Amino acid sequence: MTIKNAVIVYGSPRLKKSGSFHLGENFAIGLKKGGVNVEEIMVHKKNIKPCLGCFTCWTKTPGKCVHHDDMEEILSIIDKADLIVYTIPLYIYSVPGPVKTFLDRQLPLAEPYLIEKDGITTHPRRNKGKILKAFILSVAGFPEKSHFDAMIAMYKKLFKPNNERYLGEILIGGANQMADDASQVAYKKLYVLIQQAGFEVSKDERVSTSTLTQIEELTSFTPEQIIKFQKIANQYWDTFIEKDYTQGEITQIDEQPLKISDGGSSAYFAGMASQYNPNAFPGMKSIIQFEFETDSYYLLIDGDKCTAYVGSYSTPTLKIKSPEELWMKIVAGEISGQKAFMDGSYTIEGDMNLLLKMNKLFTS
């Protein structure tokens, strides 16, 4: 076994609540299973000052930087390692800034001289007795793998694949949600494969084609899936964008409001209106329209008042089109509203954000 000591470099500012962290921690499990000692470095928790470009580490104090910060200890860890695993989010086609600083600050590990290696000029390593190999794990928001091209080209240059120092990469697009606690169950299968990849690297210094193919099958997108992904991702972002609900326009209604004594669905919506919490979003002016197979209802929210009506409002803020039975099951918590939406069992027009505010707006 040539890989005895590995360093995992976690490069997300989201620290342990990040997709790249989950990839790295599972890869580490596989490496450890293969008998590798693993050191873990969370770049954003370290004090690492930017390189000054003074070349003091090459001239006055060879191998030592003018900065006395956490990089002193980190360089000695890297110097002993056989493998470095960068596990990072893609930021503007590249690595996050602090990871770039981390890369720059490894200059003391090289000597200033220029040599030719694999047909290209490079600097020799100061510690001649050691070879450092690399593996890259990365996640990105966009679904296409081509977004990683520039970053991977940089790492390949750094670890010169002709010299077998670049051991490979696992790149997962469309992975923003991999950071969410609620999404972890959905990634379980992938994490098992990442563990397997780490184990294979510890044994063979490469990930098998079978493991890579299975990872690819789980994480790649067809052109049709990309279009669907864009839609869902846009709705996802819409739910987080804060909006001013006090500016909505409301036309006064002459109709009679629904009452609980009306019975049936009318009673349900009258009941919902009575549960309205005016303190949730003070001054809100919004109309939530419900369209079932045969009947339509709407809730008119005007400041501290919410009133329910039968029929259709011409310009609702949010329109929910659903089979009535399904909607009632969602409300009763018998069916996951999110899953039913993803399955296309009901549709939404207008402000998705308002849908997600409904459990705050209506207290029971």
Q: By the criterion CB under 6 A, which residues form the site for ligand FMN? A: 12, 14, 18-20, 89-93, 139-142, 147, 175-176, 179
Cβ of 1: how many Cβ atoms within 10 Å?
10
CA distance 55 to 97: 21
- Residue 220: CB minimum distance to ligand FMN, A: 14
Which residue's CB is nearer to ligand FMN, number 63 or number 97?
Answer: 97
By beta-carbon proximity to ligand FMN, the closer residue of 16 and 60 is 16
The answer to whether 131 and 143 have CB atoms below 8 angstroms apart is no
The DSSP result for 14-62, as a single string, is TTTSSHHHHHHHHHHHHHHHTT-EEEEEEGGGS--PPP-S--TTTTTST
Q: Which is nearer to ligand FMN, 55 or 236 (CB)?
A: 236
If the CB atoms of residues 24 and 248 are measured against ligand FMN, the closer one turns out to be 24
Q: Which is nearer to ligand FMN, 41 or 179 (CB)?
A: 179
**Are the CB atoms for 35 and 6 separated by under 8 Å?**
no
Provide, rounded to whole angstroms, the least separation between the CB of residue 233 and ligand FMN.
10
Shortest separation between residue 20's beta carbon and ligand FMN, angstroms: 3
Amino acid 302 reads: D
Report the residue number, 91 or 187, with the smaller CB distance to ligand FMN.
91
| Secondary structure of residue 102 in the 3-state scheme | helix
Q: What is the dihedral of CA 151, 153, 154, 157, to 10 degrees?
A: 160
Shortest distance (Å) from residue 18 CB to ligand FMN:
3
For residue 186, give the DSSP letter: G
Instruction: Please state whether beta strands 296-302 and 305-310 pair in parallel, antiparallel, or not at all (unpaired).
Output: antiparallel
Shortest distance in whole angstroms from residue 226 CB to ligand FMN: 12
Q: Report the residue count for the chain.
A: 364
Distance of closest approach, residue 25 Cβ to ligand FMN, in angstroms = 12
